[in-house]
Structure 1
Amino acid sequence: MFEIRLSGENLSTLLVLPPSDTNDDIHVILSSNGTGKIVSSLWTSIFTDGRVRCLSLINLQLYQSDARIIAEYLREQNSLIELTLDAVLQSVFSFDHILNEGLQKNKSIQKLVLSNLDNVDAATIASLIQHNKMIRFLSLTHDNISPDGGAIIADALRSNSTLISLDLSHNRIGEKGKMEFTNILQSRHPSLTQIHLDNNVHDENQSIIDQCSDPMLPSERESMIIETKLTITNENSTEIKSKWQFLSTILVTFLFFLWGIPNQLNDVLIRQFSKAFVLSRFEAGLVQSAFYIGYFTWALPAAYVIRRWGYKTGILLGLGLFGTGACLFWPAALIGQYTPFLISLFVIATGLGFLETAANPFIANAAGPAHSSEKRLNIAQAFNPLGAITGALIGTLFIFSGIELTDQQVKQLQMNKTYDAYLKQETLRVVKPYVILACVTFFWAILIALVPFPSNTKTTKERKNESSTLCRPLFLVSIVAQFAYVGAQVGTWSYFIQYAQDYVKVEEKLAGYLLTGTLVMFALGRLISALLMHFGFSPAILLALFSMINVLLIAITILVPNIIGFGALFFTSFFMSLMFPTIFALGIKGMNGQTAKLAGCLLVMSIIGGAVLTPLMGLIASKTECLYLAYTVPGGAYLFIGIYALLAYVLTTESELSS
């Protein structure tokens, strides 16, 4: 970290920072004899440079104008992670203004040091502890905090769930304060692990000091301080964190099931909207387009939110958007037009983009050790096909009416002027399932909001290595492999029913049940692959094996377009099941928490493959008038994934040996 010190008369000059091409973090230290006046341009240069990560103000005189400027920048800027105020001379107004108007609303500072200050108001500190949810380490040393002040601060800690360490050394808290803070930790505080109370005046000594009629010199006062080293440690913190981590992992794992429902409902909506709005295949296919565009366009903003505010915020925002989009089906149905439904689907997909960008790296990186990331993610992803099956059943039972009108019946309804009423009823059938889904989504958001999540702090070293990590060959190829997989999966299922009708001559309803059956195979494959990984099978080797088996099955699908080819196509779902989570986990393997969030975003963006390869399959089928030839596209995708898996095995093995 690059350190810049300014003192004395230099405080009235413009701060010269290193060139903009220097990416090193900067620590600015301002100090004087307490009389130097700081020009406003100096504050501007400090707070507007994103490289300034630490700011220390030592023995300065802060005026009200300084306090207003500092508070304003603290409300707005988001790069500063550490702030120190040591022996700063300021009025009560200035101190309260910085804390109440600045630090309480700050979203970036994680370490705050307030030391040797004359105007520390315990109530103001307590308010800061209650309202700021970013500070992890708080130091209040040599601040003359009394036992009553300590009690106020202790009470505020009960409503804080983010502070990890508190230092109250060299104050006047005494035995009363010790008991207060001991009770805090014994009550199983969700985040606080230790409180330092070194060299605090005991109550009895304080009473002696207060009873002295003559003023005491500082040296005499210090002689009455009992020198002690006292750190209260939360012995239950590890156990508590483990429980919260387990609970948060369970809540996030359910999300994989939850977002599988709307994904699979899209196939139902395509058919339902085709009937309700009398759409062409292209127009009905815009359902998938709206969905994938929502995923693609909002993955990067999702990554920014998650990196800036953490997994939990990203998940809550995703659930909020998901639920809102589902609720919008109601007014869309009342309007009775197709476009509002597409907007609703876009909003849902936006929420799902946030969820996938947060949940996948959370399970892989934050929910346990790195060596078992692939296994954890495969277990979590095993719930996704269960959601897909649920979505297919919901659509079949509650959205499809079972009424298929012939052209003659349509003409008859039109003559009777009841056709519009029929279309309206078909449109309204989509409302109830989505409103119920929205209620479940909002309920789950409330549960997640109540549970503390593991926090990830980005270090300087991590930021420096981020660019090189994201440019490593394995990760870049993982993006392409994920693009190929999603395209293969969506394309395979999109034309599954049509293949069954064309080459096996089954009815549409039976073909729909067979699609549900292949989804069951998909779920079974997820569970079995996770079990195999649990017993020590290499995820990369399994991925390579399953990919090559799918290449063989697709070859049969193409070369033998009958019931045998359909059977081969049916079983491809089993072997594609482990691909998404395994590619995802291999791609971000070894990345730190913050880099993994951005990497996860890029991998989620690759879901756009479903919107690229599926139309390509349709184009091939249209040009050749042979649907089975379209399956050369997923066949090629599986071949690429197999090669990728072998590459991943070689690179990860070399990495493990070198480490």
Structure 2
Amino acid sequence: MLEVRLSGETLSVPSDALPTSESNQEIHVILSSNGILKIAPSLWTAIFTDTRLRCLSLIDLQLYGNDSQTLAKYLCEQTHLVELTFDSVLQSVYSFDHILNEGLQHNKSLKSLTLTNLNNLDAATIASLIKHNNTINYLALTHDNISSGGGAIIADALRTNSTLVRVDLSHNRIDEQTATQFTSILHQPHSSLKQIILNNNVNDNQYVLDPNSTIENKPETLPFIVEEKRINDVEPSTPTKKFQFLSTILVTFLFFLWGIPNQLNGVLIRQFSKAFDLSRFEAGLVQSAFYMGYFIWALPAAYILRRWGYKVGLILGLVLFGTGSFLFWPCAYIGQYLPFLISLFIIATGLAFLETAANPFIAHAVGPEHSSEKRLNIAQAFNPLGAIVGVLIGTFFIFSGVELSPEQIKGMRADRTYETYLKEETLRVVRPYAIIGGVTYLWAVLIAIVPFPAKTKGKQKNDESGRANELCRILFLLSIVAQFAYVGAQVGTWSYFIQYAQDYVQVGEKTGGYLLTGTLAMFALGRLTAALLMHCGFSPAILLATFSLINVLLIAITVLLPNAIGLGALFLTSYFMSLMFPTIFSLGIKGMSEQTTKLASCLLIMAIIGGAIFTPLMGYIAVETKSLALAYILPGGSYIIVGIYALLAYVLTTDRSTQE
């Protein structure tokens, strides 16, 4: 191979510096300018249009914006370049992200990529390249100042790659705990990797470099680590593909299962209003007690997930869920409102564990990152099916259909039969919740039996500074605000849906229950439609913004026209709110490492506290204004917040070239 070295003034003028040759001898072009001179566009053209080019090395260069765009364009189109090296190349983080995302992700010829002495590499961008490029066999990321947090992100990406054979991460800041994650990859049954090198990595979790220290007291480095993959050297506990698929099915069913109690709360608000003679504000405390459980226990749930893994968190959540359901039986015989609120709090505690574990499991652990929104929308589509079942259970088995007028109540009080009536209304909740508790315990047993993917055990800790940086990303922080607003809007909308229908269309509670079932069916249809649109290439953020705007208009009709037309508009809001929770969730955690995802997931689940705040607040507005329709201004404002978030998310994800 002929080596062609171009440096100095040769780079800054229109050049035909590449040697002409009558032979077809392959060439290796080396560009070096000592970081000063600007490369002439014509030189890039000459290099990349020469079909003899096989290797390209960029050493000690300053790349400008136009250079990055040109490189990305040519690298994307290359069919003959097989080896590329960037050594001590200066450029902005965005420019390099552009080269990797727009150029190398779609390159079809490159076999070897070396990125060395680059201090502004973004680990998430490297991870995205690893996941999407299917030609590179050798990847070197040396002397790049990659932290343990960044190393964990790269390790997660390597689990999904099927072409890399050798990876060199020497001379970075990857600690020993993170190094064990790379070791585990070599034991995956279908991994193409044969060798991972972690040589002279400083354990930055334990040592701080002192500029005044001498060579003798510099921190020790990790030992030279070269892991070789051996045929059939597989951990005995690694589950087969069959078990991994089965664990995914079991977790997906949980989205259906927790939809039942979530939607039964709306039924309970109506039922407890009758059974305990409550005001709308007092009945709204059902949602407050319920979602307070989410808020308080989401953070402990995240700790348990990080310490013992998804499986333990799911089992514990199911046990708590079932226990709270069975407690409805003694609560009914006590005959007071407060014990029911405590039981609902216990149920919600269990659901906090389930949602904190199941959402990131589906979004992060069982498929590629670029399709996480679509995958989570599909799984979340089972949630409204559970909600529909919950409403039907409430309509058929909890609602008695007996609605007493004030005169009838007065007569029953005189006959001393009113207390018996209230007791019977209270007892109607026992059997449905007992059955739910039994199913929940059964599912806990199934999850305990079935092996889960080894990579979801999550016992390793990320670099603390890397995790903090990920959690402080503006998109993630905005996701928490948007999730708070959305959940408040959703819970408030459905909690008072039946009462809106009764107040303004004069339907009975059973008919109201059927209408609520219908709007939940629209919710399920909306989730499936959103997943299909994303599969067809529509931007999740743009879909989110569009659906939010439509819901703002529908809520305006609900408020301004409190009649059958307003009820119809309120009915349709469920369709357009359907994609909001999973899309906000996926956008918020996109690009995070697996361990950080568990903590981020808990913070997003804590945002569900919006449901505890909005419902009684809407009840208070309805009482003070004597108009339930006006209370729906609150969900309308929430959809405005979600719409603004969606537009910002689109801008931020596009700027970082993570929009697929």
Fold match (TM-score > 0.5): yes
CA contact (8 A) 1:273 1:279 kept: yes
State the Cα distance separating 1:567 from its structure 2 match.
1.7
Question: Helix, strand or coil for the counterpart of 2:657?
Answer: helix
Q: Which amino acid aligns with 1:516?
A: T
The answer to whether structure 1 residue 605 and structure 2 residue 606 are counterparts is yes
1:90-489 matches, within 5 Å, as: 231-233=230-232, 241-454=240-453, 455-456=455-456, 457=458, 462-489=463-490
Amino acid at match of 1:439: G
Q: Which residue of 2 aligns with 1:501?
A: 502
Per the TM alignment, residue 240 of structure 1 is displaced from its structure 2 partner at its CA by 5.1
Aligned counterparts of 1:387 and 1:327: Cα–Cα separation in 2? 19
| Structure number having the greater helix percentage | 1
In the alignment, is the contact (CA less than 8 A) between 2:280 and 2:619 conserved in 1? no
Query: Highest CA radius of gyration, 1 or 2?
Result: 1
Note if contact 2:309-2:459 (Cα within 8 Å) is conserved in structure 1. Answer: no
Deviations 1:474-510 (A, max 9, x none): 0000000001101111222223233333333434432
Tell me what 2:554 maps to: 553
Output the amino acid matched with 1:441: T
Find the aligned partners of 2:364 and 2:609 in 1 and give their Cα distance.
Answer: 24
d(CA) in 1 for partners of 2:541 and 2:236?
36
| Deviation at residue 415 of structure 1 after TM alignment | 4.6
Which residues in structure 2 correspond to 1:589-628 (within 5 Å)?
589-628=590-629
- Match in the other structure for 2:636: 635
* Greater relative contact order, per chain length (Cα 8 Å cut-off, separation 6+): 2
1:233 partner SS: coil
- For 1:466 and 1:281, the matched residues in 2 are separated by 43
Aligned 8 A contact 1:291 1:349 in 2: yes
* Matched AA of 2:280: R
Alignment CA distance shift 1:231-1:633 (3 Å) = closer
Specify whether residues 509 and 245 from structure 1 end up closer, same or farther in structure 2 by C-alpha distance, changes over 3 A only.
same
The residue type paired with residue 433 of structure 1 is P
1:320-371 CA deviation, whole Å, 9 max, x = no partner?
1000111111121222222221111110010001111111111110111101
8 Å CA contact retained: 1:462, 1:592 = no
Matching residue of 1:646 = 647
Q: Which amino acid aligns with 2:312?
A: T
2:514 corresponding residue in structure 1: 513
Over 3 Å counting, the alpha-carbon distance change for 1:136 and 1:597 in structure 2 is same
TM-score normalized by structure 2? 0.63
Q: CA deviation at 1:389?
A: 0.6
- Paired residues of 1:500 and 1:566 also in contact (CA < 8 A): yes
Measured after TM superposition, the shift of residue 551 of structure 1 is 1.4
Instruction: Verify the 8 A CA contact 1:270 1:285 in the aligned structure 2.
Output: yes
1:563 aligns with 2:564: yes
C-alpha distance in structure 1 between counterparts of 2:241 and 2:463, whole Å: 25
Q: In the superposition, relative to structure 1, how do residues 437 and 653 fare at CA in structure 2: closer, same or farther (>3 Å)?
A: same
Q: Is the 8 A contact 1:258 1:387 kept in 2?
A: yes
CA distance in 2, matches of 1:275, 1:621: 18
> Is the contact between residue 458 and residue 593 of structure 1 (CA under 8 Å) also seen in structure 2?
no
State the Cα distance separating 1:460 from its structure 2 match: 6.4
1:80-125 deviations in Å (ceiling 9; x for gaps) = x98xxxxxxxxxxxxxxxxxxxxxxxxx9997xxxxxxxxxxxxxx
Q: Distance in 1 between matches of 2:659 and 2:547?
A: 28
Larger mean CA deviation between 347-356 and 240-249 belongs to: 240-249
1:131 — aligned with what?
none
Partner of 1:11: none
Instruction: Give the letter for the 1:656 counterpart.
Output: S
Aligned letter for 1:285? G
Per-residue CA deviations over 1:620-641 (Å, capped at 9, x if unaligned) read 3344334333222222211121
Q: Which residue is equivalent to 1:544?
A: 545
How many Å apart are 1:572 and its aligned residue? 0.8
Asked whether the 8 Å contact 2:282–2:616 carries over to 1, the reply is no
**Counterpart code for 1:359:** A
SS at match of 2:656: helix
Cα 1:406–1:562 change in 2 (3 A) is closer
2:367 and 2:336 map into 1 onto residues whose CA distance is: 47
**What residue identity is the alignment partner of 1:554?**
I
Q: Could you tell which deviates more after superposition, 457-466 or 430-439?
A: 457-466
1:525 maps to 526
- In structure 1, how many angstroms separate the alpha carbons of the residues matched to 2:416 and 2:284? 29
Deviation at 1:303, TM superposition (A): 0.8
How far the C-alpha of 1:239 sits from its partner, in A, is: 10
Alignment-mate amino acid for residue 393 of structure 1: L
Deviation digits for residues 284-337 of structure 1 (CA, Å, limit 9, x no counterpart): 222111101111111111111111111111111100100011111112122222
Give the Cα separation in 2 of the matches to 1:374 and 1:238: 30
The one-letter amino acid of 1:577's match is S
Give me the CA root mean square deviation. Answer: 3.2
Structure 1: segments with no counterpart, 5+ residues: 1-80, 83-107, 112-134, 138-162, 167-184, 195-228
Cα deviation for residue 375 of structure 1 reads: 0.5
TM-aligned CA deviation for residue 426 of structure 1:
2.1
Equivalent residues of 2:373, 2:540 under 8 A apart = yes
1:406, distance to aligned residue in structure 2 (A): 3.6
Separation in structure 2 between the aligned mates of residue 599 and residue 657 of structure 1, nearest angstrom: 18
**Residue identity in the other structure for 1:326:** S
Distance 1:110 1:312, change over 3 A: farther
* Structure 2: gaps (5+ residues): 1-174, 195-227
Given that residues 488 and 608 in structure 2 are in contact (C-alpha distance below 8 angstroms), is that contact kept between their aligned partners in structure 1?
yes
CA contact (8 A) 2:284 2:616 kept: no
Indicate how the Cα distance of structure 1 residues 232 and 416 shifts in structure 2: closer, same or farther if over 3 A, else same: same
SS at match of 1:656: coil
CA contact (8 A) 1:361 1:600 kept: yes
| Structure-2 change in CA distance of 1:341 and 1:499 (3 Å) | closer
User: Which letter maps to 2:243?
Assistant: W
* CA distance in 1: counterparts of 2:639 and 2:264, whole angstroms: 25
Does the C-alpha gap of structure 1 residues 419 and 628 become closer, same or farther in structure 2, counting only changes over 3 Å?
closer
Q: Distance in 1 between matches of 2:504 and 2:229?
A: 79
Scaled by the length of structure 1, the TM-score of the pair is 0.63
Tell me how far apart the structure 2 counterparts of residues 417 and 624 of structure 1 sit (CA, whole Å).
Answer: 35
- Aligned partners of 2:178 and 2:462 also within 8 Å: no
The amino acid of 1:274's aligned partner reads S
The 3 A distance-change label for structure 1 pair 656 and 313 is same
Residues 125-171 of structure 1 deviation map (CA, whole Å, 9 limit, x = unaligned): xxxxxxxxxx998xxxxxxxxxxxxxxxxxxxxxxxxx9999xxxxx
- Over 3 Å counting, the alpha-carbon distance change for 1:109 and 1:374 in structure 2 is closer
Q: Which shifted more, 449-458 or 439-448?
A: 449-458
The count of aligned residue pairs is 450
Q: Is contact 2:462-2:596 (8 Å) kept?
A: no
**Is residue 269–residue 495 contact of structure 2 (8 Å, CA) maintained in 1?**
no
Q: Which amino acid aligns with 1:273?
A: F
Q: CA deviation at 1:409?
A: 3.9
CA distance in 2, matches of 1:413, 1:617: 32
Equivalents in 1 of 2:619, 2:416: separation in Å?
Answer: 37
Please give the alpha-carbon distance, in whole angstroms, between the structure 2 residues aligned to 1:409 and 1:468. Answer: 63
Partners of 2:546 and 2:515 in 1: how far apart? 25
Q: Secondary structure at the match of 1:591?
A: coil
Percent pairwise identity: 70
Cα distance, 1:425 vs structure 2: 2.3
Residue 29 (structure 2) aligns with = none
Conserved 8 A contact 2:288-2:615: no
